[in-house]
Chains A and B, each alone.
Chain A
Amino acid sequence: MPALWIALVDIALILVFGIVSPGHVFFNGGNFTNMAEDSAEVTLMAVGVAFLLGAGELDISIGANIILSSVVGGKVMVALSGSPSQVAQSVFPHLAMGVTVGILVALGTGLAFGLVNAFVVTVLRVNSFITTLGTLGIGTGLAFVLADGNNIQDIPTPLQSSFGVRTLAGTPVTFLVTFVLVLLMWGLLGLTRFGLHTVAIGSSRQSAERAGIAIRRHLVVLFAMVGVLAGIAGVYDIARFSTTNISGHQTDALAAIAGAVIGGTNLFGGRVSIPGAVFGSFLAEILNTGLVILGMSSFYQLIAVGVVLIVAVYIRGGVDVRTIRR
């Protein structure tokens, strides 16, 4: 089981870094909290992308979706929480309303982005890689235009303190939210008709069609779902840093796909491992944090993840059952 292997690799890396790091600081509770904080977003997207890959579709626009959702949501939060002069002085008379509506708008933006992807893929019948490559550029550009090239300022700080950096028993609340969502998606995939139809479409689109499955409608739901997840990630962003990160998120999509594939999800559809995507997404985080603590450039982490990705898929063998013949 690939997921199990990656989990073991994760544990092995934690042990190695813990032993080797000066004063064993890698084992500190604060370190784990920090890694979980980072993982909240990456893991959420890796699982969402794994689900979509199950149907044989790609979405490389999620980084742009996260940015756009955070920009639009952030602007709404700032605009509704108080007058410009008030928020500039960190006074937020309509805090609850502003933040709530801002969050909803961020989710709505993510959803809308996902629906645009869905439309181009299912109605205009453009390949999903090309579609999302296009919307990646469009979304990023749109976010920059809306933000006027600058990160959003004056986002209500209570959002950060009560959610963004808050922890429960040492575990970041954002990570807990991700955890719940991951469990839900795991159940959806493995226990429901919707999950079964997803992998059927990825395994053999023609067979799914012949079985009477409404493929286009199903894909619309999947792209919309990934879009909403990106919206949530956008909320995480502004909650954590009290501002947006418009020049970040460049490699989010590739990191999500790598995490999913390392964990056993088939790139071409038909086989999904949600636990695998979770442990796969942890891998890069553990490597990155460990290397930084050891004082090594985090560029080595890029090399390491790349190597692991190739090795993981190679070990699983080239048996990718695309077509069956008699």
Chain B
Amino acid sequence: MPNYQCAPMSDIAIQAVDISKDFGHIRALQSASVTVHKGEIVALVGDNGAGKSTLMKIMSGAELPDRGEIGVDGQPTRLLSVRDAHALGIETVYQDLALAPHLTVAQNVFLGHEVVLPKIGGKLGLLAKQEMARDAADALQALGIGIGDAKVRVSELSGGQRQAVAIARAMKWARSVLLMDEPTAALGVRQTAIVLQTMRTAAKRGLGVLVVSHDMPHMLNVANRIVVMRHGRVVANFAADETDIQTIAAAMLGSTTSGDL
């Protein structure tokens, strides 16, 4: 029986309940459940193949579960597509960033959320390019990353800068939930610090933040809770300040004593 809070003002940002997903013969997820409260940062960890990315993709609308339900703001929802997710205020930073290389920074930040000119311009779909360029530059600035010109093509940016664009985009449009898949992978120290600070900012804004990450030390630092997955199931749920790397690793690998590692 799904544990939905029925009050209209719920403190739950997003909730995945009993999610199962098969890819052919591979059972990627088996009755996985995770809850993210508003203002909370939850780290989703696990070994390769544990199902973390799949669960996140389902919560972002990019994949459909075979069984199970998603709830947002304490209400069960029909999350059948990325557009549904966006309408619910769920934004995602994917592991491959999902940026269009030929498009500019501003175009990528506003892709799917374009601003059009007023009145008849809007009917024709005429883009308010200057406004979007300014806005995008501001959004990146707010993250502490200067790209300079928002009209630069994304393909001409460094890996870290592209990361920043993807994060700025998600931060700009997220209203309820921020999902991030390996956001600090391949980033330097300063950039990682910026990403972690972004998570804290999002949480302070009242968003529920769910992060898939291999970066245990940083996750213990920034997250409120650590949820561990193994073989498609959720096997542990720790408060971040009540656990340590060895305990988490043990849960990830299935040993009960750290001596088995």
A interface list, Cβ under 8 A from B: 191-194, 196, 199-200, 202-204, 206-214, 266, 270-271, 321-326
The answer to whether A212 touches B112 (Cβ under 8 A) is: yes
Give the Cβ gap from B239 to chain A, nearest Cβ, in Å.
Answer: 31
| Nearest residue, chain A, Cβ from B116 | A193
B125 adjacent to A270 (CB under 8 Å): no
Given contacts A191-B126, A191-B127, A324-B154, contact A207 B114 (CB under 8 A): no
Contacting residues, chain A, for B112 (C-beta < 8 A) = 211-213
Q: How far is the CA of A201 from the CA of B102 in the complex (A)?
A: 10
Is B186 part of the binding interface, using a Cβ–Cβ cutoff of 8 Å?
Answer: yes
Residues of B near A326 (CB, < 8 A) are: 97, 159-160, 162-163, 185-186
C-alpha gap A64/B97 in the complex (Å): 41
CA distance A203 to B111 in the complex (A): 12
Number of chain B residues close to chain A: CB under 8 A = 33
A211 CB contacts on chain B under 8 angstroms: 82, 98, 111-112
Most buried by A among B83, B86, B102, B125: B102
Minimum CB–CB distance for B43 against chain A, Å: 20
B100→A270 contact, CB < 8 A: yes
- Whether A207 contacts B116 in the complex (CB less than 8 A), given A194-B125, A326-B159, comes out as no
Whether, in the assembled complex, B124 has its beta carbon less than 8 Å from a beta carbon of chain A, the answer is yes
Residue among A194, A202, A210, A213 with max Cβ neighbours from chain B (10 Å): A210
Given B86, B96, B102, B116, which contacts A321 in the complex, CB threshold below 8 Å? B102
Most buried by B among A194, A206, A212: A212
Taken together as a complex, chains A and B put the C-alpha atoms of A202 and B125 apart, in Å, by 19
Q: Nearest chain-B residue to A54 (Cβ)? A: B102
Structural contact, B159 and A325, CB atoms closer than 8 A: yes
The 7 closest A-B pairs by CB, nearest first: A270-B102, A211-B112, A326-B159, A203-B100, A203-B102, A193-B125, A212-B83
Q: Is the CB of B186 within 8 A of A196?
A: no
Known: A192-B127, A324-B162. A206 touches B155 (CB 8 A): no
- The answer on a CB contact under 8 Å between B114 and A196 is yes
29 inter-chain pairs at a CB distance below 8 angstroms, sorted by A residue, are A192-B124, A193-B114, A193-B125, A193-B127, A196-B107, A196-B111, A196-B127, A199-B100, A200-B100, A200-B107, A204-B99, A204-B100, A207-B100, A207-B108, A208-B111, A210-B82, A211-B111, A212-B83, A212-B86, A212-B112, A213-B111, A213-B112, A271-B102, A323-B101, A324-B162, A325-B159, A326-B159, A326-B163, A326-B186
